[in-house]
Amino acid sequence: MEMRYWAYLAAKLIVAAGLFRAGWFGLHAVWPAPEPFMRVHLDPFARDLGYTVVVMGYGLLALGAFYLILLDQRYRCRTCLRRLRMPVTTGAWNHWLLGPPRTEYICPYGHGTLRVPEVNIGGNADPNWKPIEDMWKELEELEPPRK
């Protein structure tokens, strides 16, 4: 079930969008768009340099924030949303058995592993998530619950 995973991503994006929307209005409260020049209303974006710089900077800030949200989401467990740990690099270019270089992350609670290819080959660089619930279910069944 990855519903929680996607709900978490959606929640983060909604919160970020809300914050940047609020910031946008706050920005215009302290830095209003330039008054129309001689009653001709041109787009103030390209006309006023200061305004342009502020708007572009804000846009880049928002872009960076969304990028970080997506990056953070990529390295989270699909089951419990915890940050994945223990990156292990496997594979080598000159070893046919190990395959191409990739980095494997594991959930600290053992829900699964994420395999991230080091290089993008043929556009197939999507991280490969593999749940390992079976192994842990077996372990839990073998071991009596501690109290």
- Contact footprint for Zn ion (CB under 5 A): 77, 79-80, 107, 109, 111
Identify the burial level of 111 via C-beta atoms within 10 angstroms of its C-beta, where 0-12 means exposed, 13-18 middle and 19 or more buried. Answer: buried
In the 3-class helix/strand/coil scheme, how is 32-91 assigned residue by residue? CCCCCECCECCCHHHHCHHHHHHHHHHHHHHHHHHHHHHHHHHCECCCCCCECEEEEEEC
Q: Which C-beta is closer to Zn ion: that of 28 or that of 82?
A: 82
Q: Which C-beta is closer to Zn ion: that of 44 or that of 131?
A: 131
Closest separation in Å from C-beta 24 to Zn ion:
36
For residue 96, give both structure tokens. 């046919």
Q: Which C-beta is closer to Zn ion: that of 55 or that of 105?
A: 105
Q: Among candidates 80, 75, 102, which has minimal Cα distance to 91?
A: 102
**DSSP-based three-state secondary structure for 136:** helix
Closest separation in Å from C-beta 42 to Zn ion:
54
Q: Which C-beta is closer to Zn ion: that of 102 or that of 111?
A: 111
Closest separation in Å from C-beta 100 to Zn ion:
26
Closest separation in Å from C-beta 107 to Zn ion:
3
